Amino acid sequence: MAKSFKRVRVLSWNINGLRAAAGKGFLEWLGKSRAQIVGVQEVRALPEQLPEAVSRPRGWHTHFVAAERKGYSGVGLYARMRPDEVESSLARRALDTEGRVQMARFGELLVVNAYFPNGNGKARDNSRVPFKLDFYRRLFDVLERGRRRGDRILVMGDFNTAHQDIDLARPKQNVKTSGFLPEEREELDRWLRAGWVDTFRHFEPGGGHYTWWSQRFGVREKNIGWRIDYVLASEGAMEFVQKATIHPDVRGSDHCPIGVTLDGRVLG
C-alpha cells in the first residue's frame, strides 16, 4: 500500500444519477468529504458519458461499472489511493449485466460497493424479488470464504431493504411493499446471523435515522423515511471500525450519504 493513514473514512451514497448529482454539488461535496474511499450507486451513465471532471477529478483514482441497459443502475468508486485490484463480476451473467458491484482491495481491506436490486417490477408488483434475493445470495457466497478466514471486508451501498420496524417511519403500512417484505428482511437477517455487523446499529440503537425519502413534497422535511443504505463489516474489519454515520443534511439525491471511520491500520 503506497499510502498510510491514521484513519480511513469510507463513504457510500446512492446519488440517483451521477450527471444530475454533479449539477447539484456532488464534486464540491466529494472534495470536502475528508474521505479516502467513496462508493456511489445508481450512476446511470456509461463512463464515457461522464464529464472528465466527474469521471477523473483531480486527486482521486476512479473506477466505474455500467449496466448494459443505458441510463440504468451502475456503480462508481473514488479513492485517494489506487486500489490493488478491482473485481466487478459475480460470475453470473444475469447479475453482471446490471453493473451492480465493485470489489476493490486496498491492502488488507476489501471494500465491496454494491447496488442491490429493487424487488419492484415495472408494474410495482414485487416481481423482481426473486432476482433481488439471487443477488443477495450470490454476493454472500462470493464473500463467505474470506469472511470465515477473518478477512477485513466492508459491504456498503443501497441494500434496498429496511431490516426492522425501527428502520422505516411507517412499518405497518409497508409490510407488503418490496423493501420490507419478510423474505427480504430474512435475507438480511441471514447475513447478520453469519457474522456480518450492521455498523450503524452497532453504535446507534435508536430510531428516526433514515437514508432514503420519497421525493413527494414535504416527505423528507417530515423525516418519513427508510434506512436502506448500510455498511456491513465482517468480524475481521469490525475490530477497526471506530464510528458509523448517516448524513441526512446532504442533499442532491433521494438518498443521503452514509459511512464509517476505521483505524488506518485496517489497510495492513
Residues with a catalytic annotation lie at 158
Under DSSP, the state recorded for 179 is: T
Q: Which long-range contacts (CB under 8 A, 24 or more apart) does 244-249 make?
A: 244/199, 244/200, 244/202, 244/203, 244/204, 245/200, 246/200, 246/209, 246/210, 246/211, 248/209, 248/210, 248/211, 248/223
Distance (Å, whole) CA 134 – CA 129: 9
- Would you say how long the chain is, in residues? 268
User: Contact, 64 vs 18, CB < 8 A?
Assistant: no
- DSSP-assigned beta bridge partners for residue 14: 41
- B/e letters for 136-168, b = 16+ CB within 10 Å, e = fewer, are bebbbebbeeebeeebbbbbbbbbbbbbeeebb
CA dihedral sign, ordered 187, 212, 165, 244 = positive
Distance (Å, whole) CA 254 – CA 224: 12
Which residue, among 191, 205, 204, 198, has the nearest Cα to 231 in the 3D structure? 198
Under DSSP, the state recorded for 165 is: G
